[in-house]
């Protein structure tokens, strides 16, 4: 008994706080939770060097909930502990005018942290997410969010500033992302259509976020990659949010994680739906769905369309590998303002990510390696069709880079390149496309590869 009492005294403020939260006792009620009067909570003690060296997995937390390791691992995260009263004041009483949106966990409100309101926290706008006990997610998802985002830091992950665990209340406090979600810009027609370069930048940023998760010392599978979970900062930089469904990935000799099938219809990998076996390639499939949404400007699942077009992947995946069908895929809102060769390269990345066989999907490192060079392609370069693991692939050489390379090339290579280009032009078929803007009419040509070189 004496030893047990001593161990309790050793636990830090965070451990005491989280000990109550881990039980989830207050979260069991079914009534609608409304923020009530604030109660004082313990403040975490100073950070520990051990906490910064090794991330504690969600499994570790659930298995050592009452142990000192929990507080040691999370104190170094620099998360701030808020009271309900503080967050109510920050959001003006969760004013309707501050409402930002609502997901499976609950509603989200914009707020403002006043200067010196919290030691070490500067004045800034915030986003506050409230738990709705009648929603699709609950205490476990709240805890998952705190565990993962409390320890993971990356430019392409949204920053969790703090949390509130008070009686039955579960709240999360994030950095405010003024441009909202990618979903809103693609499908809800926010002012200002996303340009090709902005879309590609968003795709690359989101891919880098997944690379960070998959390649971590303790890998993480995001499990809920979709447009509504990709938030945008003032420069449209992509940041992944909502880690409520994230899972620790397989380690060592493990090939997968067996888990209950959860996610969003239209984004989940087929093998995960069938077996419950979760791998990093499950996230790769979801990324492919989002990449197709970025290209097409269409939702993964759209019940308002004819039955054969409602599932975007089933409807369009086969078109992605055919350069002549690229215009069928691309978002009409872009009005043809994109480099066709680079767009087809992106389409090929989406095609491989959406393979029904997870072994044929690239890992996210390869996805970034394929997409990032295309950020510098502003016009159509040479198109070279090849095969990668039995699947068609595309290489794009930007015109400027190609000219510089040829200037330094031997005479024989220059002659071969000239002959190849002449042959290529002879076998291409142009498609005339009319593009009209207000007060302006112009025509331009989009060149497609001839039928005999289709992949």
The catalytic residue positions are 224
Alpha-carbon gap, residue 266 to 361, rounded angstroms = 17
Side-chain-side CA neighbours of residue 454 (13 Å): 13
In this structure, the strands spanning 160-166 and 80-81 are: parallel
Distances (CA, A) of 349 to 279, 314, 380, 388: 19, 16, 18, 11
Alpha-carbon gap, residue 146 to 143, rounded angstroms = 5
Alpha-carbon gap, residue 74 to 127, rounded angstroms = 21
Residue 214 near residue 220 (C-beta atoms within 8 A) = yes
Alpha-carbon gap, residue 263 to 245, rounded angstroms = 7
Which DSSP string corresponds to 388-426? ETTEEEEEEE-HHHHHHHHHTS-HHHHHHHHHHHHHHHH
Which DSSP string corresponds to 89-128? HHTTTT-GGGEEEE-SS-EEEEEEEPTTSBTTB-SEEEEE
Query: Which residues make beta-bridge pairs with 81?
Result: 163
CA-CA-CA-CA torsion for 202, 208, 214, 215, nearest 10 degrees? 180
- Tokens 């469904």, residue located: 245
Residue 140 near residue 24 (C-beta atoms within 8 A) = yes
Residue 139 carries which DSSP code? H
Alpha-carbon gap, residue 447 to 424, rounded angstroms = 11
Alpha-carbon gap, residue 366 to 240, rounded angstroms = 19
Alpha-carbon gap, residue 60 to 68, rounded angstroms = 12
Residue 301 carries which DSSP code? B
Write out the two tokens for 258: 């067996």
Q: Residue 390 region, left (φ>0) first, then alpha (ψ -120 to 50), else beta?
A: left
């Amino acid at each position: 008994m004496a030893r047990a009492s001593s161990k309790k005294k050793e636990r830090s403020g965070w451990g005491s706080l989280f000990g109550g939260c881990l039980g989830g006792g207050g979260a069991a009620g079914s009534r609608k939770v409304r923020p009530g009067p604030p109660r004082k909570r313990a403040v975490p003690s100073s950070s520990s060097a051990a906490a910064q060296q090794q991330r504690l997995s969600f499994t570790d937390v659930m298995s050592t909930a009452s142990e000192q390791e929990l507080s040691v691992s999370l104190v170094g995260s620099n998360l701030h502990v808020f009271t309900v009263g503080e967050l109510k004041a920050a959001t003006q009483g969760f004013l309707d005018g501050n409402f930002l949106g609502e997901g499976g966990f609950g509603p989200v409100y914009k707020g403002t942290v006043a200067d010196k309101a919290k030691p070490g926290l500067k004045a800034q706008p915030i986003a506050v997410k409230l738990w709705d006990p009648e929603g699709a997610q609950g205490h476990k998802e709240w805890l998952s969010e705190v565990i993962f985002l409390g320890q993971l830091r990356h430019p392409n992950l949204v920053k969790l500033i703090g949390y509130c665990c008070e009686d039955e209340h579960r709240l999360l406090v994030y950095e405010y992302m003024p441009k909202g979600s990618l979903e809103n810009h693609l499908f809800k027609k926010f002012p200002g259509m996303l340009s090709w370069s902005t879309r590609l930048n968003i795709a690359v940023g989101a891919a880098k976020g997944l690379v960070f998760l998959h390649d971590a010392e303790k890998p993480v599978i995001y499990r809920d990659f979709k447009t509504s979970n990709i938030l945008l900062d003032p420069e449209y930089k992509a940041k992944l949010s909502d880690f409520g469904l994230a899972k620790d990935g397989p380690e060592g000799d493990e090939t997968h994680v067996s888990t209950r099938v959860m996610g969003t219809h239209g984004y989940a990998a087929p093998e995960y739906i069938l077996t419950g076996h979760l791998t990093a390639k499950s996230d790769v499939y979801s990324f492919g769905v989002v990449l197709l949404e970025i290209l097409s400007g269409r939702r993964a699942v759209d019940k308002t369309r004819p039955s054969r077009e409602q599932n975007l992947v089933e409807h369009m995946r086969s078109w992605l590998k055919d350069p002549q069908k690229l215009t069928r895929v691309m978002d009409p809102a872009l009005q043809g303002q994109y480099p066709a060769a680079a767009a087809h390269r992106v389409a090929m990345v989406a095609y491989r990510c959406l393979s029904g066989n997870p072994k044929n999907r690239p890992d996210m490192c390869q996805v970034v390696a394929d997409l990032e060079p295309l950020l510098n392609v502003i016009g159509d370069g040479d198109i070279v069709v090849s095969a990668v693991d039995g699947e068609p692939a595309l290489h794009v050489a930007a015109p400027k880079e190609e000219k510089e390379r040829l200037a330094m090339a031997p005479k024989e290579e220059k002659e071969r390149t000239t002959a190849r280009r002449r042959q290529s032009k002879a076998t291409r078929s142009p498609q005339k496309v009319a593009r009209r803007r207000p007060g302006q009419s112009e025509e331009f040509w989009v060149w497609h590869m001839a039928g005999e070189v289709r992949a």
